Amino acid sequence: MLRVLLVTLCLSLWGVAAEAERLSQAEAFFAAGNAAAALQEITGYQARDANERQRLLWLRALANMRLGQSAAALPDLERLVAEHPRVPQYRLELAAALGRLGQAERAVYHIEIARSAGLPDAVDQRVAAYAQELESPKIFSGHISFAIVPESNAAKRTSATEVTLFGLPFLINPNARAKPATGLEINSGIAASPRLADGLNAHIGVSTRLRFFDGNAPDDYTARVFAGLVHGHIETGQTRAEVFATQRWLDRRDYARSLGVTLAYARRLTPTTRIDGQITRENLRYRTDARMQRNLGVLGVRHLINPQLELSIAGRLEHRSASQATLAGRMVGVTLGAQYRFTGGVQLGVTLDHERNRYDGVHPLFGIARDDQRSLARLDLAHGQWSWNGFAPILRLTYERQRSTIILNDYRNIAASIGATRRF
């Protein structure tokens, strides 16, 4: 009986050793340049531990890439990046697969993260050159997203129940006070970027933002068309000049329209640091026939601490002149952001924003100038591996608080956005 048990044990151990030998043999086939034989050898192979699983995924991905089967390699590479976010080789191979599949924007994103791991100079130069090739915009691109948006105060109305005018208290109509509302938000856009010359592309497109609510907040629609030129690459400096026009409707009524021009510049200062600047001049006309001209400047810096942690900061200044003094004024704001990529694929983004908005004119009823201070905190949660037909799920939670010298403009709002987005 003991002999039978020993023989059985030996056969079992031999079988395990033989199975493990298949993986080593497949790696040898690949090293010898026979990717097809490597794939054949590991067909049906079951990894026994985490180390073997990592070797198996990497070998299968590399073999598929060598055979030109980028789509087959993509799931394994995405899994490796999710489980080992600090390994630059996995991200670079994923970027190569995405580049072959025409997903240049995603490829550049992973290249930027991989470069924060401190690549050798020679490798970094080759990677930077590849990123520059990918940054040439596609002839046609677009995006679409859907989200359910429950909000505690979607119309951003005051929670106050009364207001004092001329020394007398007046009750505020309940229909003009804060109410919870649930809506559907749809964002979409399409753009064409035909090549005009080496490093020069046209950029023409249209985008829309539609928010449908259940009656406790006005439906809000915005459409935008634009046309411009893009010159250069982010690696060495990219300049964009654009003219645009917008139209906004509230509750299906014309609310405002505008015409403007934007000049923007972006450049990667180091493999891990990028700056973005933008100047916008816009002329708006409201349905009341009031007119306003706004000049806005924005400057931001984004820095990758390592492949998992990314930090950003941006400041903005705005000056407004208008036909009505109560619309004219100035604004200053700052935004802080951080994003962390957890092992396993979960991505968490945190945004903190604060701005002060001062108005020149004295309010005709309250007898004082309006002065707003708005603070916002937002959490964005996503998963690098989850998708359905190209749509990636996104969860967003937002808290917004505005304090104002005019009680009707003093509000708070808690909002969620549960939806999915896709780029093509």
pLDDT at position 47, please? 86
- 94 CB-contact burial (10 Å; exposed 0-12 / middle 13-18 / buried 19+): buried
180-202 as b/e: b if 16+ CB within 10 A:
ebbbebebebebbbeeeeeeebe
Q: What residues contact 286, with CB distance under 8 A and at least 6 apart?
A: 255, 256, 292
pLDDT at position 241, please? 98
Where are the domains positioned within the chain? 2-134, 140-423
Note whether 269 and 282 are within 8 A (CB). Answer: no
pLDDT at position 243, please? 98
pLDDT at position 137, please? 62
pLDDT at position 12, please? 41
pTM: 0.84
Q: What is the mean pLDDT of each run of 10 residues along the chain (424 residues)?
A: 42 48 89 91 87 92 93 92 92 92 84 88 87 76 94 91 74 84 96 91 96 93 97 91 97 95 96 96 95 97 94 98 93 98 92 97 87 97 81 94 94 96 87
d(CA 86, CA 340): 12
pLDDT at position 20, please? 64
Note whether 112 and 95 are within 8 A (CB). Answer: no
Architecture of domain 2-134: Alpha Horseshoe (1.25)
d(CA 338, CA 348): 8
d(CA 214, CA 251): 11
CATH fold for domain 140-423: Porin (2.40.160)
Q: Could you report how far apart the first and last alpha carbons of the chain are, in Å? A: 66
- The H-or-E segment that residue 1 falls in is none
- β-partners of residue 225 are 206, 245
- β-partners of residue 286 are 256
Note whether 154 and 217 are within 8 A (CB). Answer: yes
Note whether 410 and 158 are within 8 A (CB). Answer: yes
Structure tokens belonging to residue 7: 């023989």
Note whether 204 and 230 are within 8 A (CB). Answer: no
d(CA 79, CA 58): 10
